[in-house]
Structure 1
Amino acid sequence: MSSCKPQTYNFIFADAWPGKYSHLHLALNTLIVGGIYFIDDLLPQSNWPNHHQLKVDALLSFFNQLDSFAISHLHWSSGCAVITKLKEDTFATELTAQEDYKFLFSEETF
């Protein structure tokens, strides 16, 4: 993702950990204004690792606090969210520095 040009994609389906639970800033940087970021697996699943619900909650909370994105929750199947980028904006430093959200911006490979 680090080699992708900014504002290149109009749709991202983040179905894996990178781009959803790490490297989030890199994924969202490639999304154009008006683009859609789609995520799934947001409702509890029997195969989730311990404490995974905390990561899901933090991810959704992060988007709910940003005025540069609009989020719509879909409570069916595994749980989905359709997130639209409303404007180009750097993430608020106070949010990215919060302990609850730091993992979202990690560039470690899982």
Structure 2
Amino acid sequence: MNSMAKKVSNIFGFPGAVCNPLCSMHQQLQQWRGIRVRVRNGNLEQALVVMQRKMQSSGMERLIKRQQTVHVKNSEKRVLARKALERRIRSQELARKLQAILVKKVRGL
């Protein structure tokens, strides 16, 4: 638990810390607000489950994983790059198809 809190504080800093220009408004709001979990009846396990769920839904967990500095093999980099390219191409193809459908509907064809 302490290691997770340290990682979160390293990424977001303290409420008064200046955020880099790439931060979105949501991240700045999340940075100021933080995530609070109430421990009820001394049930720490349930509170940890709730905290993990809140971290996943807010996207903080992805930010923490992205910030971790671990070595990635070149073969893994190639696989990840190929998957990202395929995702981008699929997304562009879907956008083109939807645009074509919308143009046909607008023109009444």
Q: What TM-score, normalized to structure 2?
A: 0.32
Q: What TM-score, normalized to structure 1?
A: 0.31
Q: Which has the higher contact order (CA 8 A, sep 6+)?
A: 1
Higher helix share: 2
